[in-house]
Structure formats: structure tokens, C-alpha cells
Chains A and B, each alone.
Chain A
Amino acid sequence: QKEVEQDPGPLSVPEGAIVSLNCTYSNSAFQYFMWYRQYSRKGPELLMYTYSSGNKEDGRFTAQVDKSSKYISLFIRDSQPSDSATYLCAMSAGGGSYIPTFGRGTSLIVHP
């Protein structure tokens, strides 16, 4: 079992849809959770950064962490074609061992 599991997709949705992207993990020591967005031929850029369980909202994006289920989600409301990208989850135990483990990434396509 991989430490972080993420469905590679592709996930294709119409413009305006609510998108749900998910990752599961096995390491209960993870406390810091991140979502990165990567456009084709570009480097990943940080979208959301959360600590421990709960929700965090930033504009159209909401990150959700459920540590009891070892499950994290990223929701995108009112999706736009410009949201088409690969979304990578990442997580770490934090502290001095801050080298996150990345999921494979989910390819999202938002069509007009």
C-alpha cells in the first residue's frame, strides 16, 4: 500500500460544476496537508495548506481534512476552464522532518 493514494483521473466536468478531489493516506503521523496545482509544463504551485483536521476556505477552494479516516479533500466551487490542471496532494509529519510525501496527482479537465 502506498503511503499516499490519489486517483490519477482524468476527471472531466462541465464549467460551473463543484469538483471534489481526494487523497487517502496510511501514516497517522501526518499533520500538515497541502494541495498543489500544476499546469502542463509548469512547476507545482501551492494552493492550500492546513494543519491537523478541519476545513479551510480560500475563495472558490475548500480544503478538508479528516484525520480519523485518513482522508483529505479539495473542493472547487464554480469550476472554470482555467482550473484545468493536475492537482497534487502532499502531507508531512512536520517539525524537523519536513519533507512531504506527494500523491500522484489527479488530472482535472473543466470543459466550457
Chain B
Amino acid sequence: NAGVMQNPRHLVRRRGQEARLRCSPMKGHSHVYWYRQLPEEGLKFMVYLQKENIIDESGMPKERFSAEFPKEGPSILRIQQVVRGDSAAYFCASSPGDSPYTFGSGTRLTVV
């Protein structure tokens, strides 16, 4: 039973480009969560999704960031027109809904 799979592990983008981060939840998990981690700030909640629905996006910046979890395929976190301040580790977690999360290994985004 594979864990939460995130890809790519490392992503380098120039300022103004788009970044797409992918997350495949654990088998049987229908709840997906995205977090951002900065060294001085810890893990910050961004968005909570179930299949085809955004349940809570209270942690998402209002502009440039979007997330989806389609009926088929992985969850995608999309960052348009990236800026240096978007450089961080982005973690996806999944759960069956009534248990603690299982995290993926993260995608480290570097904006140059």
C-alpha cells in the first residue's frame, strides 16, 4: 500500500512561471489537505479537498493559488506567476476522514 505520493520532489521555476504540484492520496483516502512549510513559520494549512469539492480554502492566498481534486487523477496545487516568496516546501496529506493525516514527502519549490 503506497503512501501519499507527491511529485515532483523538487521544482525550480523562474519568477512569473506557473508551478503545478501533484498529490496522489493513499488508497482508500478521499480527503486531501495541502500545507506550506517555511523554516521560521512551521506548517500552515492551505486547503482541504474531497473528490471534486473544495471543503475549506481558508488558508489559501486569494490570488494566484488554486487547488483541485478531480474525480480521476491526483490533486493539483497550482501557483500562477510565482514570486520568490512562494519558495517553500509544500506538503500534501490524506486521510479517510476520521483519522489523523498521512503526509507525503513534499515538493520543494524554489523560485529563482
Residues 86-102 of chain B, each 1 if its beta carbon lies under 8 Å from chain A, else 0: 00000101010110111
CB under 8 Å from chain A, chain B span 9-50: 33, 41-43, 45, 48
Min CB gap B1→A, angstroms: 15
- Interfacial chain A residues near B97, Cβ < 8 Å: 98
Min CB gap A102→B, angstroms: 4
Q: Which residue of A lies closest to B105 (CB)?
A: A43
Task: Please determine whether A102 and B43 come into contact, CB atoms closer than 8 angstroms.
Answer: yes
CA distance A45 to B98 in the complex (A): 17
Judge if B56 is at the interface, Cβ distance under 8 Å. Answer: yes
Judge if A42 is at the interface, Cβ distance under 8 Å. Answer: yes
- In terms of DSSP, what is the predominant structure of the interface of chain B? strand
- Interfacial chain A residues near B45, Cβ < 8 Å: 99, 101-102
- Interfacial chain A residues near B105, Cβ < 8 Å: 42-43
Task: Please determine whether B104 and A99 come into contact, CB atoms closer than 8 angstroms.
Answer: no
Q: A99-B33, A99-B48 are in contact. Are A43 and B103 (CB under 8 A)?
A: yes
CA distance A105 to B40 in the complex (A): 10
Interface size in chain A (residues, C-beta < 8 A): 20
- Interfacial chain A residues near B103, Cβ < 8 Å: 36, 43-45
Q: A34-B100, A46-B101 are in contact. Are A102 and B106 (CB under 8 A)?
A: no
- Interfacial chain A residues near B91, Cβ < 8 Å: 43-44
Task: Pick from B41, B43, B48: contact of A44, CB below 8 A.
Answer: B43
Q: Which residue of B lies closest to A34 (CB)?
A: B100
CA distance A103 to B56 in the complex (A): 20
CA distance A105 to B89 in the complex (A): 15
Binding site for A on B (CB under 8 A): 4, 6, 33, 41-43, 45, 48, 56, 91, 93, 95, 97-98, 100-106, 108
Q: With contacts A100-B100, A102-B45, A103-B42 known, what are 9 further pairs, Cβ within 8 A?
A: A41-B108, A42-B105, A43-B6, A43-B103, A49-B100, A98-B98, A100-B101, A102-B43, A104-B41
